[in-house]
Structure formats: structure tokens, C-alpha cells
Chain A
């Protein structure tokens, strides 16, 4: 399978700060998604971004497929941003085989 490494594993911020989360992957992919797992365990899809840049409010993501990494930017963080952020990839050769990283645990303090 594809190896997915996320960094940092843990991140603690004060409300209002900006942050960048990184996802490195070991093979070429044509499917990359970012997810947020809130403190109640719910998993929400943030971005489907196999390449390029997308923005959604205070969140944006960039994937440089040729260099095998993706970045998730959180600006003006809020306490509701707390939770675990997962990156998941698939090379597309086998349907449905998304490989998840171990996540970045983000804690935002008021």
C-alpha cells in the first residue's frame, strides 16, 4: 500500500493563530482527501484535492502531486477547529482503497 505520513502529530494553538498541516505520500496518487474528526468522533470531508489548490472559508488546501505532498492551511483558528485532521490517498489502481495517515491532533485554546 501507499505510505502516508502526517506532520506534526500534535499541534496546540491559541485562538486566532494560523497553522499548516502537512501530508506526505509515498507514491503517485489521483485521489487525495482531507478529513476533520471532531471531538465527538464525527468524520467530515473537508477537501477532495488530488492536485492544485482549493479554499473553503478559513481553510485551504494545496496538493503538489509531482512532489507527493499536500498542505492544509487553517487561518484564524477557532476552538471549533479542534480535533484530528486526516489525510487519505489512493493511487486509483484499486477502487475504494483509500489509505489514511495517522492524523494531526489539533487543540485550539480560547
Chain B
């Protein structure tokens, strides 16, 4: 039973355009969501997070939107840069602080 779903295994976006990565969840008890970015041969690095009491959080080129009624969140990267090419993991924390990750979306930024 996959509680955090990233339905797009990969995504290609032109450099300079907006990248939108999507994530759906099934458990309404999740109260915190995070995005991590992973390059090959490295561990994931924390990117941005959002509390369930908010619907938007912004940090530079990265914005995360949360739609609680749809149990959906998205990560927007504007403008996309070559260094953004990586695997992005969506993650959710439940009230026991147990973290559940999605399977990841591989983002390719095209020149």
C-alpha cells in the first residue's frame, strides 16, 4: 500500500522553463511534507518542506504547493537550470514522525 505516490517516473523540461513535479498521498493524517533531491552516487539532500497548515512555501526558485482536499502537492522549479537534473523524492511525515517517501521522479533539464 503506497501512501505517497509519484506517478511520473521521469520528466523532461527545457532549460529556463518551469518544472512541475507532482506527488499524491492517501493518508490525511500526514502533517508535514518534504522534497529531497538526489544526484547519482550521492545521498538525497533536503530541498524544501511544507506544513499541512499551509498551502504554499517558497524558497528562491523552488515553490511547493499543497492541496489538502485533493491530497496533492507539487514542486515548482522556475527557471529550470541544468543542475536541477536529478531524482526528486516527495516525502510525508505522520504524527509519529515516521517518514514515507515516494518512488521518485527523474527530472531531465534539456539544453
Say whether A associates with B: no
Give the interface of B toward A (CB within 8 A).
none
